[in-house]
Amino acid sequence: MNSKQNFKISQVKENSLIIGVDIGSLNHYARAFDWRGLELGKVFKFNNSFEGFNSFLTWINSISEEYNKESSIVGVEPTGHYWFSLREFLYENNIQLVLVNPFHVKQTKEFDDNNQTKNDSKDPSVIAKLVIRGSYSMSHIPQGIYSNLRIADKLRQDVIKNLNSIKNKIKRWISIYFPEFSLIYSSIDSKSGILVLKDTPLPADIVSRGVDNIVEKWRQVKLRAVGKDKAIKLVEAAKNSIGIKNGNDFARLEISLLIDDLEYKQEQLHKITLQIEELCKEIPEIKEIAEIKGVGFLTAVSFVAEIGDIRRFDSPKQIQKYAGLALRENSSGKHKGITRISKRGRRRLRTLLFRVSIPLVGKNKEFSKIYTNYLTRKDNPLKKKQALIAICCKLIRIFYVILSKGIKYDEKKMIEDIEKNLSIAA
C-alpha cells in the first residue's frame, strides 16, 4: 500500500463520522458510520433543495453530538451533475466531501450481503465503507479565475460541437439539392458561398439570377476575393445540376434556417472567445504555453481549464494520473501482459493532450526528434500510438514547469537536452 493510500486511511479517525450519500435528481439518501463500519442511526432521505440540505446538516450535527464525533466526511459517487450543489453547500459549512469511483461501488456492493441488489439504501453503505478503507479521491472545487475559465472553455466546446452539427446538416442539404456546389466551395465557411445559399440556394435560383446579378450581390457586401469567374462556374454547375427538384419551397426554408443557426453560433463563439482572452490576461503563463509551436492559444486555455491551479499538484506524475495516462500492467508469474494506459481520469484532458500531440510532432522540430527517438531507439522502441502517449506525458512535464515556476519555454535548451540524451543512449 502506498503512502497516499495510508494518508487517506489516516484521515478516518476514531472521532470521525463517515457518511455515504447516494445522489439522485430529486432526492438523496444518506447513511452514517463510525471508523469501524458500525452504522449510526437510520437511512436519511433529503431533498435536493435548500431546505433539504439544511435538514441534512441538522441530521449530521445531531448524530455527531449523540456519538461524540468531532469531524465529518461525506462520500458520494460523482455521477451526473446533481451532486454539484451539495458539494458547494458542504464546502460552505466546512464539511469535507470526497469522491468514490462508481466502478468501485459496482464491484464491491456484494461484499456485505453477497447480493447484486442496487437500491437507495444499499449504495450509501457501500460508499461509506469505501471511504473508511481509503478508496476515495479528494473533491476539487476550482476557485476564482480557474472556475470561470473551466465554465467558459466548456461553453466554447459546446458551441463548437453545435457548429459542427449545423455544418454537417448544411452539407447534407447541399448533397441533396445542389451537389455540384461542393465542387466549387470546399469549405462551408466561405462568405461568398454562404451568401449564395442565402440569396439563391437552389440551382434554379442561380440560373434565374444570372452571372452579373450574383457578382453585383457580392460587390454590395464588399467581397473582393471572388469575381465573375466564380459566378460563371456557379451558373454552369447550376444548369447541369442533378439535385432534387421537388419540395423547393421548404428546401429554401430549411437552408435559410440552417444558415441563421450557423451565423448565430458563430457570433456566440466569437463572443465567448473574446471573454476567454480577457480571462487569460490574469494567467500570463497561458501565453507562454501557447507560444510553443504546434500547441496554440485555445489548447493552452483548455489545459489550464481542466487542471485548474497547477500548484495543487506535487509533481507532473500526478497530472499524468489525473488525465488517465498512468501506465497499468497486467502480469502474473511468468506471464507478462501488455502495458496500457489506465484511462481513469479526466477524459477531456486526455483527449486534448492526444489531439495536440499529433500536430506537435508534425510542426515542432524538437518534439519531432523526441517522437522519432521513441520509435527508433534500440532499447524498448515504441509503436506510433505509444510514442504519441509518451509525447503527451512530456508535454505535461513542460506545462507543469511553465505554470508552476513561471519559466519560459526555451527551444534551444530543449534541443540541447534531446541531443544530450541521444548521445548517452548511443
Q: Which residues pair with 206 in a beta bridge?
A: none
Strand, coil or helix: 244: coil
Identify whether the C-beta of residue 371 lies closer than 8 Å to the C-beta of residue 348: no
Position 396 pLDDT exceeds 90: yes
The 10s digit of each residue's pLDDT in 31-47 is: 999 999 999 989 999 99
Q: What pLDDT does residue 1 have?
A: 47
Domains of the chain: 3-138 (3.30.420.40), 148-278 (1.10.287.4070), 285-425 (no CATH)
Rounded (5°) CA angle 122-128-129: 90
Sign of the four-CA dihedral 389, 391, 395, 396: positive
Give the E-state strand segments of 212-258 in sequence order: none
**What is residue 311's DSSP assignment?**
G
199 C-beta neighbours (distance < 10 Å), count: 14
Position 55 pLDDT exceeds 90: yes
Residue 140 buriedness (CB in 10 A; 0-12 / 13-18 / 19+): middle
The 10s digit of each residue's pLDDT in 138-163 is: 878 888 899 999 999 999 999 999 99
Name the band, by pLDDT with cuts 50, 70 and 90, for residue 353: very high
What nine digits make up the cell of 275?
471573454
